[in-house]
Structure 1
Amino acid sequence: MSTYKRATLDDEDPLDSLGDGDGYPNGFQVNFRGSRSSRECWAKWTRTEKQLVVLVGVLVVLLVACLLGLVFQYRARPPAVCLSEACISVTSSILSSLDRAVNPCEDFFSYACGGWIKANPLPDGHSRWGTFNNLWEHNQAIMKHLLENTTANVSSEAERKAQRYYQACMNESKIEELRATPLVELIQKLGGWNITGTWAGDNFNETLREVTAHYRTSPFFSVYVSADSKNSNSNVIQVDQSGLGLPSRDYYLNKTENEKVLTGYLNYMVQLGMFLGGTDEESTRQQMQQILDFETALANITIPQEKHRDEEVIYHKMTAGDLKELAPAVDWMPFLSTVFYPVELNESEPVVVYAKEYLEQVSDLILTTDKCLLNNYMIWNLVRKTSPLLDQRFRDAEEKFMEVMYGTKKSCLPRWKFCISDTDNNLGFALGAMFVKATFAEDSKQVAEEMIAEIKTAFEESLETLQWMDEETRKSAKEKADAIYNMIGYPKFIMDPKELDKVFNDYEAVSDLYFENVMQFYNFSARVTADQLRKPPNRDQWSMTPPTVNAYYSPTKNEIVFPAGILQAPFYTRASPKSLNFGGIGVVVGHELTHAFDDQGREYDKDGNLRPWWKNSSVEAFKRQTVCMVEQYGNYTVNGEAVNGKHTLGENIADNGGLKAAYRAYQNWLKKNGDEETLPTLGLTNYQLFFVGFAQVWCSVRTPESSHEGLITDPHSPSRFRVIGTVSNSQEFAEHFSCPPGSPMNPLKKCEVW
């Protein structure tokens, strides 16, 4: 073996070579002898040998010190900075939205969104504006191009029907030429309206059947087909409260606070009555006031939304025959047979009623109300629904009312935007096929699937650490989470031209008769609904169209749905840092997943059936956990008006659970993949970027009127509190932003459900 040589501090004799088997190739000797032998050996060594040994020891110590220094330097070194075009672009967007003058520990919403709010005054014609609206406008522009490009290679007749429907909506000259005639003729066909002419007389049940079955209105109550909550494999007729012209009962009952809206609504009613043939404004106003008073009586018996949440309490299954005893004012069997024609029904047909006391009271109200007023009210429901389909006078009148109702600044919204929204509402899956083919990258499905799997894993990890839940319920909850079905992008049938055409086979649209097209669609929709009654619920039947910028959880199907419209920036971008994607679409996924376990979703088992599958001890513990959140959000106010902590509870649980699951999933991703590059100039860590990305999804502005409407109708908290409510419950947020205990974003008392 060759001699191992190295530099020394002094001249020395070379070391003898080691015998075979006594050492390693690098020259280090292995010595197992005891200390006494070592001392004897040391005494025999020459001075030069001793100096050499000391020198080697010093060099070893220096080498170890250097290695440790390198390790610590590597650990302390900031992560690499991403300087790609995509990273520079997203950095610019984030930077322009921030307000660095605000302390993030004092008000994280203003810190994250202050710059955005200053740069985004409300556009004319809008009562609210935010990320969702911006993205929807982008999607609308794409749909406009697709619907107007009639020479494009569309692959199905259904898509051509969507184009013709849109063309008819855009045919303003024909609409202006017809003026109010289509609706006037329809009213005459239904027996007349005392406001605009002669009324045929006592035909209450006949008119109720017609306006409900053929024109999709819901005077007095709503009737529809959906999965039976206690037997989710079958559909059933369902009945619930309905019939108010304004968005909430509160508008009618708090008259002083809402006087401006009530006056604006009455003026709108009078204007429409006059356009449709009312000859005497005083008489028209008097009769419209009677309708408004009747709607106020309906509002008085309408159950408040926060008391209409517990489905275990409000679910009442009975037969169609039982309805006659419950609400005798309605001739139920002819009514249901007309609404669900041609399906054959008898008195043993099961019906689920969600507003039993309301139906009893509305029946009494009908029986004690003048028949002429009842007819005026039912026809008003039809007029309110169909007047936007008529000439410009009707749209101007509605716009004027919207100014009062929502505080919008007057502007002439481009006709094409109205027509895009209407086409999406009615033929959205035919239009959705075109949208998906033009915009949706198929590998986005794979990315979304991976994200959902990571969020599910994180949620289930949190489930394991919950202190308040018993083991048996925890096991069942994990099974439910595992069973949640993912629907991403679009329902499969829309990409098969034959299947898509089969769905829309019985609907026809012509290019120049918009009002008739819509009426035909109402009839077509009613037949589709009736057909579903004898079929099991279908996973391919979505509640949102593919271009929609939103997502949802279906409790009876135990599925989460993410339309193609939301799977894009700022929620998800392939080139963005993972911190932003987890803070964006990751929180959205976590939000929808948590809905399976909110105050309503938790009542459904893994198969989508409403049943008590929790142990009582865990039910009581859950309710105790939610009290904290009800109080927390109930203390937030907008313009002096409090958030309804009970009404918003489900969404607040989902917001908090979604943020927590997405954060944990991002942590897991980093453990698996290592640190990612950070963004330049921001001075934010990737964890801080996660929270900023989450908050900036909710940057928005609203008029005071729109904020008021949101507080009394929307089950979601206002955007500001969706941000500060969740981050102030997050210990991780407080740590990453070094928020002092007791600061607004790091309160000592935190609420947690999941």
Structure 2
Amino acid sequence: TVPQAERRDDEKIYHKMSIAELQLLAPAIDWLDYLSYALAPLELTDTEPVVVYGDTYLQQVSDLINDTDRSILNNYLIWNLVQKTASSLDQRFETAQERLLETLYGTRKSCTPRWQTCISNTDDTLGFALGSLFVKATFDRDSKAIAEEMISEIRAAFEVSLDQLDWMDEKTRQAAKEKADAIYDMIGFPDFILDNKELDDVYDGYEVSEDSFFQNMLNFYNFSAKVMADQLRKPPNRDQWSMTPQTVNAYYLPTKNGIVFPAGILQAPFYARNHPKALNFGGIGVVMGHELTHAFDDQGREYDKEGNLRPWWQNSSLEAFKNRTACMTEQYGRYTVHSEKVNGRQTLGENIADNGGLKAAYNAYKSWLQKNGEEKRLPALELTNHQLFFVGFAQVWCSVRTPESSHEGLVTDPHSPDKYRVIGTLSNSRDFVEHFGCPLGSPMNPGKHCEVW
């Protein structure tokens, strides 16, 4: 398969071709027949364009299918079906799956209360309906306006940093500023979830049975496939959300040049209306800066302001960018977890975003202080508000993982381990070094600071 680290270079792995060309590439599968069945009632021909990521992988899979006994292939397909549906089957299947997960990740799953299982499955299938209840019951509408203002301040701080870069030529810099200006942000929730009719329309065609939980899950899989097939013939919808409002996460989508911050993440420890600005900028502010910086990481930089995959950098700036990212690749590649090294190349995009996000959020906080004045310090803490900003960033990443889970993360996760998301980012921050007085040559002030944005 395509190595994890190489999957971030879309210019190399993006291959557009017809179904007929795909058939020549991987002939073991009748692609027109398979796709026509999967996307029914959509009508397809062998001239239909498709995008293939990892053409060599598909070639090898095709060869493997031809060289493998049919009974093994059948068993493999059945195993995948059972694994996907195990959580919807009876206790025998759930117990077997828990034993597998314990072997893989070293954790023993306690018996999940039925109410949690019900909420989890409802979230998976009727996420926006559940999000409507969540927003109406818990979300402070003022938080949406406050978050939008914070994003505007962080975007402005990022653009000021662009003006100060000595390694970027003017043409690329101007294009980068235009891309930053064009980033489309979606905060809290999509408006349609507050309109019952529009919400019902989203689930039109999804049949829910009152007496068969398993059938409901199968119905949802079929419903999702039909929704996807229906969208293939429509122009892209920039306002479409890929994450439900109650999700505690955020993302940047390069093909839309958009960032999304669901209502679920606009709460402690990331954000609270009664928190000092230092904590909010250090928490949700860094997350905002992180997602914004993804537009200019090793993958996001390949897309223009409209979300098109095309080269828009001048060669001199591109080479300077690669030289600076090489510093970060080397830095994070020296970190270890249980004697196993972090893959600095695999985690490069997230490390760029962590470092750029912290810098943009801190500069935005300083701009806020210039306009509004110094905040009162929190009682009982011998911390300045500037120090509190960095503590707010660090405490978000407190975590505990088993050795097995840590190993799995090092192999597959594009993020660095949480410990090094903090240590790596802060040791690159001259502002952190200044406010905490870290001596030159100490672990948090090694002298060499990797900086891209």
With normalisation by structure 2, the TM-score equals 0.98
Equivalence for 2:86? 387
Q: Secondary structure at the match of 2:313?
A: coil
Report the equivalent of 1:284. none
Match of 2:71 in 1: 372
Structure 1 residue 541 displacement after superposition = 2.1
Query: Alpha-carbon deviation of 1:539?
Result: 2.6
Whichever residue aligns with residue 28 of structure 2, its letter is: A
Q: Secondary structure at the match of 2:229?
A: helix
The match for 1:479 among 166, 178, 188 is: 178
User: Cα offset for 1:415?
Assistant: 2.4
1:127 paired residue number: none
Q: Tell me whether 1:666 sits opposite 2:368 in the alignment.
A: no
Report the residue type matching 2:159 in the other structure.
Answer: E
Q: Secondary structure at the match of 1:351?
A: strand
Q: Does 1:515 align with 2:205?
A: no
Residue aligning to 2:353: 654
Q: Which residue of 1 aligns with 2:121?
A: 422
Whole-angstrom distance in 1 between the partners of 2:36 and 2:269? 48
SS at match of 1:445: helix
Aligned residue type for 2:422: V
3-state SS, counterpart of residue 553 of structure 1: strand
Amino acid at match of 1:703: T
1:543 partner letter:
S
Are 2:150 and 1:412 equivalent residues in the alignment? Answer: no
**Letter in structure 2 aligned against 1:426:** T
Q: Is residue 594 from structure 1 mapped to residue 268 from structure 2 by the alignment? A: no
Give 1:288's aligned residue.
none
User: Amino acid of the residue matched to residue 150 of structure 2?
Assistant: M
Q: How is 1:682-697 mapped onto 2 (pairs within 5 angstroms)?
A: 682-697=381-396
Query: Do 1:492 and 1:540's aligned partners in 2 also have CA atoms closer than 8 Å?
Result: no
Shift of 1:410: 4.8
Q: Paired residue for 2:404?
A: 705
| Structure 2 counterpart of 1:607 | 306
* Structure 1: distance between partners of 2:121 and 2:413: 22
- 2:337 corresponding residue in structure 1: 638
| 2:61 counterpart residue number | 362
Q: 2:184 aligned with 1:500, yes or no?
A: no
Partner of residue 741, structure 1: 440
Alignment match of 1:441 (pick from 99, 118, 140): 140
> Which residue of structure 2 aligns with residue 304 of structure 1?
3
Q: Which runs of 5+ in 2 are unaligned?
A: none
2-structure distance, mates of 1:658, 1:437: 31
One-letter code aligned to 1:345: L
8 A contact 2:266–2:284 mirrored in 1: yes
Following superposition, the deviation at residue 418 of structure 1 comes to 2.4
Output the amino acid matched with 1:568: Q
CA deviation string 1:277-320 (max 9, x = no partner): xxxxxxxxxxxxxxxxxxxxxxxxx2211122100011111111
User: Which runs of structure 2 are paired with 1:126-165 in the superposition (5 Å)?
Assistant: none
What SS is found at the alignment partner of 1:411? coil
| Cα distance in structure 2, aligned partners of 1:681 and 1:362 | 61
Root-mean-square deviation (CA), in Å?
Answer: 1.0
Amino acid at match of 2:67: T
Say yes or no: does 1:350 pair with 2:26: no
| Aligned-partner Cα distance in 2 for 1:411–1:361 | 39
Output the amino acid matched with 1:536.
P
Name the SS for the 1:575 alignment partner.
coil
Q: What SS does the aligned partner of 1:347 have?
A: coil
Match of 2:155 in 1: 456
Q: Which residue of 2 aligns with 1:316?
A: 15
Q: Which residue of 2 aligns with 1:152?
A: none
Q: Which runs of 5+ in 1 are unaligned?
A: 1-301
Task: For 2:190, give the aligned amino acid.
Answer: P
**Aligned partner (choices 720, 723, 735) of residue 422 of structure 2:** 723
The answer to whether structure 1 residue 619 and structure 2 residue 314 are counterparts is no
SS of the residue corresponding to residue 348 of structure 1 reads coil
Cα deviation digits, residues 611-633 of structure 1 (max 9, x gap): 00111111111100000000000
What's the offset of the Cα at 1:508? Answer: 1.5
Question: Distance in 2 between the 1:736 and 1:432 partners?
Answer: 41
> How many angstroms does 1:701 deviate by?
1.1
Aligned equivalents of 1:703 and 1:359: distance in 2? 34
Q: Which has the larger radius of gyration?
A: 1
Shift of 1:537: 1.6
Q: Which digits, 9 at most, give the CA deviation of each residue in 1:535-559, with x for residues without a partner?
A: 1121332221111101000101111
Match of 1:28 in 2: none
- SS of the equivalent of 1:702 reads coil
What letter corresponds to residue 391 of structure 1 in structure 2? Answer: D
Q: Contact (CA 8 Å) 1:463, 1:478: kept in 2 or not? A: yes
- Is residue 253 of structure 2 the alignment partner of residue 535 of structure 1? no
Can you list the C-alpha shifts for 1:129-169, whole angstroms capped at 9, x where unaligned? xxxxxxxxxxxxxxxxxxxxxxxxxxxxxxxxxxxxxxxxx
Question: Secondary structure at 1:544's aligned position in 2?
Answer: coil
Out of 225, 235, 239, the position equivalent to 1:526 is 225
Contact persistence 1:700–1:719 (CA under 8 A): yes
Q: Which residue of 2 aligns with 1:10?
A: none
User: Superposition pairs for residues 231-242 of structure 1, below 5 Å?
Assistant: none
> Are 1:493 and 1:540, in contact at CA under 8 Å, matched by a contact in 2?
no
2:269 maps to which residue?
570
Q: Which has the higher contact order (CA 8 A, sep 6+)?
A: 1
Cα drift, residue 363 of structure 1: 1.0
Question: Alpha-carbon deviations, 1:404-452, whole Å to 9, x = none?
Answer: 2211135212222222222212211111111111111111110001000
Separation of aligned partners in 1, 2:101 and 2:115: 19
Q: Deviations over 1:206-236 (max 9, x none)?
A: xxxxxxxxxxxxxxxxxxxxxxxxxxxxxxx
Distance 2:136 2:209 in 1: 24
- Aligned residues of 2:291 and 2:357 also touching (Cα < 8 A): yes
Aligned equivalents of 1:443, 1:410: Cα separation in 2: 38
Give, in whole Å, the separation in 1 of the partners of 2:142 and 2:186.
14
329 and 449 in structure 1: CA distance in 2 versus 1, 3 angstrom threshold: same
Structure 2 counterparts to residues 30-69 of structure 1, below 5 A: none
Question: How far apart are the structure 1 equivalents of 2:57 and 2:404?
Answer: 29
Greater CA drift, 652-661 or 392-401: 392-401
Alpha-carbon distance in structure 1 between the residues aligned to 2:115 and 2:444: 44
Residues in 2 aligned to 1:710 and 1:541: alpha-carbon distance in whole angstroms: 30
Distance of 2:215 and 2:162 partners within structure 1: 54
SS at match of 1:562: strand
Pairing of 1:320-331 with structure 2 (within 5 A)? 320-331=19-30
What is the letter of the counterpart of residue 459 of structure 1? F
The one-letter code of the counterpart of 1:581 is: N
Query: Could you tell me which of 298, 313, 332 is aligned with 2:31?
Result: 332
Rounded to whole Å, the distance in 1 between the matches of 2:209 and 2:449 is: 58
Q: Structure 1 vs Structure 2: percent identity of aligned residues?
A: 71
Q: Is the 8 A contact 2:98 2:108 kept in 1?
A: no
Q: Secondary structure at the match of 1:684?
A: coil
Q: Any idea what SS the aligned residue of 1:596 has?
A: helix
Offset at residue 391 of structure 1 (A):
1.0
Residue type matched to 1:420 in 2? I
CA-CA distance at 1:376 after TM superposition = 1.4
Give the secondary structure class of the aligned counterpart of 1:749. coil
Query: Deviation string for 1:159-192 (max 9, x for gaps)?
Result: xxxxxxxxxxxxxxxxxxxxxxxxxxxxxxxxxx
